[in-house]
Amino acid sequence: MNGDMIGRVIKGRYKLIDERGRGSFATVYVARDLENNHIYAVKVMHLELSNDGELLARFQREAHILLNLSDSHIVRIMDYGNDNNMHYIVMDYIDGQSLKYYMINDGPMDPLRSLNYTHQIAEGLSTANKQGVVHRDIKPQNILINSNDMVKITDFGLARSRETVTLTQSNVFMGTAYYISPEQAESGRSADTRSDLYSVATVLFEMLTGHPPFRGETAVDIVIKHMNEKVPSICRLRPGLPMEMDLFMQKALAKAPADRYPTPQEFMVALEQLQERIQAMPPIPRVERPGGNEQKPGNTGPQKPSVPPQKDACIIVLSSGQTIPLKGELMVVGRQDPTLGIFPEINLADKTVGRRHAYLRNQQGTYTVEDLNALNKTRLNGVILTPHEERSLKDGDVLRFGSVEVRFEYR
Contact by Cβ (8 Å): 362, 349: no
Residue 106 annotated to the active site: no
**The pLDDT of residue 96 is above 90:** no
pLDDT of 295 above 50 = no
Rounded to the nearest 5 degrees, what angle is found at the Cα of 315, between the Cα atoms of 374 and 326? 90
pLDDT, mean over the chain: 85
Q: How many CA atoms, within 13 angstroms, populate the side-chain half-sphere of residue 286?
A: 10
Residue 188's pLDDT band, with cuts at 50, 70 and 90, is: low
Write down the pTM of the prediction. 0.67
Strands (E), 93-142: 96-98
Q: State the CB neighbour count (10 A cutoff) for residue 166.
A: 10
pLDDT computed for residue 161 by the predictor: 55
Q: Of these residues, 92, 137, 155, 192, which one is catalytic?
A: 137
Specify the DSSP element, H or E, that contains 360.
strand 358-363
What is the pLDDT confidence band of residue 106, given thresholds at 50, 70 and 90?
A: confident
In the chain, pLDDT over 70 holds for what percent of residues? 88
Considering the chain, what percentage of its residues have pLDDT values greater than 90? 54
